[in-house]
A and B are shown apart, each in its own frame.
Chain A
Amino acid sequence: MAISQEDVKRVALLARLQLSPAEIERMTSQLSAIVGYVDQLSQLDTEGVEPMAHAVPLANVFAEDVVQPSLPRDEALATAPKHDEECYLVPPVLG
């Protein structure tokens, strides 16, 4: 299926990526080629096949409900580009 430049712009917003006009053009043709290739899966009859989300059969894994030491807040915040004593700091949410 062909992907349009409008599709690429819409997905770029969903993906939180800013793309230049040149990148949009290149991405449109490259994604079209890749999606065209993966479209071959539509030839396969998968009626009644159980989707396989994980490589090993997973049951719920429970942990004991006890308090364990966790990462101290200051250490977690230290990896952020901008923070105060308690919070991550970001630009205005509403513009």
Chain B
Amino acid sequence: MSLLHHSAVDLLQLLSRREVAAVQLVEACLDQIGRHDGEVRAFLRVDREPALKQAALIDAKRDRGEPVGALAGLPVAVKDLLCDRDQRCTCASRILETFQPPYDATVVARLKAADAVLIGRTNMDEFAMGGSGENSAFGATRNPWDFSRIPGGSSSGAAACVAAAMAPLSIGSDTGGSIRQPAGLCGVTGLKPTYGRVSRFGLVAFASSLDQLGPLAGSAADAALLLEVMAGHDPRDATSIDAPVPRFAELVRQPLSGLRLGVVREHFGAGLDREVAAAMEAAIEVYCSLGATVRDVEMPHARYGIATYYIIAPSEASSNLARYDGAHYGYRTDEAAMLAELAAEQKAAQAAGNNQALGDIDSPLVRMYRRTRAEGFGPEVKRRIMLGTYALSAGYYDAYYLKALKVRRLIANDYAAAFAKCDLIIGPVAPTPAFKIGEKSDDPLAMYLVDLYTVGANLAGIPGISIPCGRSHAGLPIGLQLQGPALAEEKLLRAAHMFQQATDWHKMKALVQ
């Protein structure tokens, strides 16, 4: 059996027993990337030499009998929005194409301290805005199960690289479903932790009250291994939660008895693909056979989730992305061309005797900002900046932003009431299996509606996990989502592991013999 078929947990055992060398494992991943990433495009950058060097260092440590970290020798792929000192961090955007942060994100520092091998940087929707991976400025990632389809997003490469066995573990971020939805569409396991469970220090911000980092992996047990390293309080992130981190890697193996699952009936209504609905019913039966009980729970405000999210997230984004101004980071427009453009506009306005137009011409500084951002951002990022700026602008703030914050409270209250009656909520992660590349490109609103089942957890700050639970007739993965109350990652992982002990959906890998 090829190394690519093994789980991260098994690989760690093989490494620690010296049956496999870290260099050998990294080479196997690099070979798989070399064979297939020309088509999948999961990676924006593959760090071949540094990864092999790091693997050799860890092998040497083991040779000398020195203590090693919790992930020693395991390749981990990192979504290209986490700072890694002096390495490019592009967020799949032209505006950050050359940006090299001068410090490490806390999660990157923790991975390094755990002796992980950082194998490369994964593709994504630009600034994590999108649900298909198509918004990358450097080319869309393809679904490893069907190259004509999207892998989901925004952690498109993070999910695709695990599905295609290019890396056993990867790091994604989830602002409205960006870990769980691509995990579902690529047939891997993806966990969005509780807001504040994992430090956001060094994560390039999209919507700061919603963003959370989490693991993508081949199974719940593998995700537990990675989460345990990522999680924990960080004084450099004032929103990180100061709570002890459970021993996820160990605890994940304990089944839950008397598990009470809640079902939101509205999530099984119109718009849900029939094959996805059937896979959900089958998954619920699996849980029942394992001793779980199921009951309906009411989420009367769930249907307002998308509207609420698409006010709050763009509002926060418009503020966060104001920092890309051509002065502090990355790209700046050509100044000579910019000044020539202004001169031409002035001349034209003077010739026409139009004083109004003359007065409206931008100052050189403002025009530098505007041209830099026009050239540096892609269409979806511009759309969200515009939407957020509109929602926050004078006269609209109360009607949109403040209103959305109030509905956010109602949605969080719905979850609190539901979790008084059940331990976890079970349901679909996405309404359909992976759709065709280009299918929704011309209709941003249709693209937003794909996030229907995932935005609630971000708005309420609660954790959610996506695990594979079936296949469509076309062979595409179908994902199941479990959501739990704040800090219930342990319960989610244990429930997911129970399912994976009883089923084999998570064992399938794309593009391996």
Chain A residues in the interface with B (C-beta under 8 A)? 3, 7-8, 11-19, 23, 27, 30-31, 33-35, 37-42, 44, 46, 49-56, 58, 61, 63, 71, 75-76, 78-82, 88, 90-95
Q: What residue of chain B has the Cβ atom nearest to residue A91's Cβ? A: B364
Most chain A Cβ neighbours within 10 Å, of B329, B342, B371, B405: B405
In the complex, are the beta carbons of A8 and B459 less than 8 A apart? no
In the complex, are the beta carbons of A91 and B339 less than 8 A apart? yes
Residues on A with C-beta less than 8 A from B196 are: 55-56
3 tightest A-B CB contacts, nearest first: A55-B461, A51-B405, A95-B363
Q: Quote the shortest CB–CB distance from B145 to chain A (angstroms).
A: 31
Cα of A58 to Cα of B318 in the assembled complex, Å: 23
Cα of A76 to Cα of B390 in the assembled complex, Å: 32
Encoded as 1 (CB less than 8 Å from any A CB) or 0, chain B from 101 to 117 comes to: 11100000000000000
Q: Quote the shortest CB–CB distance from B203 to chain A (angstroms).
A: 15
Given A11-B389, A53-B209: A44 in contact with B410 (beta carbons within 8 A): yes
Cα of A95 to Cα of B377 in the assembled complex, Å: 25
Cα of A49 to Cα of B304 in the assembled complex, Å: 15
Residues on B with C-beta less than 8 A from A81 are: 326-327, 330-332
Encoded as 1 (CB less than 8 Å from any A CB) or 0, chain B from 349 to 368 comes to: 00000000000011111111
| Interface footprint category on B | 35 or more
Cα of A17 to Cα of B326 in the assembled complex, Å: 12
Given A80-B327, A91-B339: A17 in contact with B209 (beta carbons within 8 A): no
Q: What residue of chain A has the Cβ atom nearest to residue B460's Cβ? A: A55
In the complex, whether B18 has a CB less than 8 A from a CB of chain A is no
Cα of A33 to Cα of B99 in the assembled complex, Å: 35
Residues on A with C-beta less than 8 A from B368 are: 90-91
Residues on B with C-beta less than 8 A from A92 are: 363-365
In the complex, are the beta carbons of A16 and B373 less than 8 A apart? yes
In the complex, are the beta carbons of B406 and A91 less than 8 A apart? no
Q: Quote the shortest CB–CB distance from B419 to chain A (angstroms).
A: 15
In the complex, whether B270 has a CB less than 8 A from a CB of chain A is no
Q: Quote the shortest CB–CB distance from B90 to chain A (angstroms).
A: 13
Majority secondary structure of chain A interface residues (helix, strand, loop or mixed):
loop
Encoded as 1 (CB less than 8 Å from any A CB) or 0, chain B from 477 to 500 comes to: 000000000100000000000000
Cα of A66 to Cα of B223 in the assembled complex, Å: 38
In the complex, whether B409 has a CB less than 8 A from a CB of chain A is yes
Q: What residue of chain B has the Cβ atom nearest to residue A88's Cβ? A: B327
List residues of B (331-355) whose CB comes within 8 Å of A's CBs: 331-332, 335, 338-339, 342
Cα of A49 to Cα of B399 in the assembled complex, Å: 14
In the complex, are the beta carbons of B101 and A79 less than 8 A apart? yes
In the complex, whether B195 has a CB less than 8 A from a CB of chain A is yes
Cα of A63 to Cα of B237 in the assembled complex, Å: 11
Q: What residue of chain B has the Cβ atom nearest to residue A55's Cβ? A: B461
Q: What residue of chain A has the Cβ atom nearest to residue B196's Cβ? A: A56
Task: Tell which of B36-44, B129-137, B275-283, B379-387 binds the partner.
Answer: B379-387
Cα of A47 to Cα of B400 in the assembled complex, Å: 15
Residues on A with C-beta less than 8 A from B445 are: 30, 33-34, 37
Residues on A with C-beta less than 8 A from B412 are: 52, 55
Cα of A23 to Cα of B327 in the assembled complex, Å: 25
In the complex, are the beta carbons of B386 and A41 less than 8 A apart? no
In the complex, are the beta carbons of B390 and A38 less than 8 A apart? no
Cα of A62 to Cα of B338 in the assembled complex, Å: 45
Q: Quote the shortest CB–CB distance from B436 to chain A (angstroms).
A: 21
Q: What residue of chain A has the Cβ atom nearest to residue B103's Cβ? A: A71
Given pairs A41-B308, A71-B103, 16 additional interface contacts (CB within 8 A): A11-B390, A17-B385, A27-B382, A30-B383, A35-B387, A35-B390, A37-B445, A38-B400, A41-B307, A51-B405, A53-B405, A54-B239, A55-B412, A56-B194, A80-B327, A88-B327
In the complex, are the beta carbons of B327 and A37 less than 8 A apart? no
Encoded as 1 (CB less than 8 Å from any A CB) or 0, chain B from 180 to 197 comes to: 000000000000001110
Given A82-B332, A91-B368: A52 in contact with B408 (beta carbons within 8 A): yes
Q: Quote the shortest CB–CB distance from A41 to chain B (angstroms).
A: 5
Given A35-B390, A91-B365: A51 in contact with B99 (beta carbons within 8 A): no
